[in-house]
């Protein structure tokens, strides 16, 4: 996974995950067995998981807004 892309995803997650944004992303990567080199499909699986986690933390509406932002980042960067 591109370090720059990962940083952008984490920054986008920060309003909802705070200091735990990086940990949340790494946890979901580990859960999916994702390694550093990822294709677009894996990115999309990853952000689907982040969306599900966000839905528990902050509700489906804001999770959907986060998801749209993450999708845009992945489309630009993957």
Partner 1 sequence: MALQKVESVAAVPRVKSYVYNLDEQMEGGIPQGAVVLVCGRPGSMKSSLTYFIMHMQALKEGRRGVYFTLEQNRASFARHLAHIGLNPDASDRVTILDVSALRRTFGDRGPKGDTNWLDAIVSQAASFKSQYECEIIAIDSMSALYSLHEFENPRRELFHFFEGLRALGVTIFLISEMYDPTKEIFARYEVEDFLADGVIHLKVDRRDGGSNLYLGIVKMRETRHSRDYFPLIVEPEGFEIVPH
Binding-site ranges for partner 1 (CB under 8 A):
12, 14-20, 22-24, 27, 56-59, 61-62, 65
Measured from the CB atom, the residue of 24 and 38 that comes closer to partner 1 is: 24
C-beta of residue 54 within 8 angstroms of C-beta of residue 16: yes
Query: What is the Rg, in whole angstroms, of the alpha carbon atoms belonging to the chain?
Result: 11
Q: How far is the CB of 21 from partner 1 (least distance, A)?
A: 9
Measured from the CB atom, the residue of 37 and 56 that comes closer to partner 1 is: 56
Measured from the CB atom, the residue of 40 and 52 that comes closer to partner 1 is: 52
Give the C-alpha separation, 3 to 37, whole Å. Answer: 10
Q: Which residues contact 5 (CB under 8 A, 6 or more apart)?
A: 43, 73, 74, 77, 78
Q: How far is the CB of 9 from partner 1 (least distance, A)?
A: 13
């Amino acid at each position: 996974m591109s370090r720059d892309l990962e940083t952008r995803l984490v920054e986008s997650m920060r309003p909802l995950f705070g200091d735990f944004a990086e940990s949340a992303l790494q946890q979901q990567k580990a859960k999916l067995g994702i390694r550093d080199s990822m294709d677009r499909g894996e990115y999309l699986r990853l952000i689907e998981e982040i969306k599900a986690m966000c839905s528990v933390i902050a509700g489906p509406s804001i999770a959907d807004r986060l998801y749209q932002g993450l999708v845009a980042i992945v489309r630009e960067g993957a």
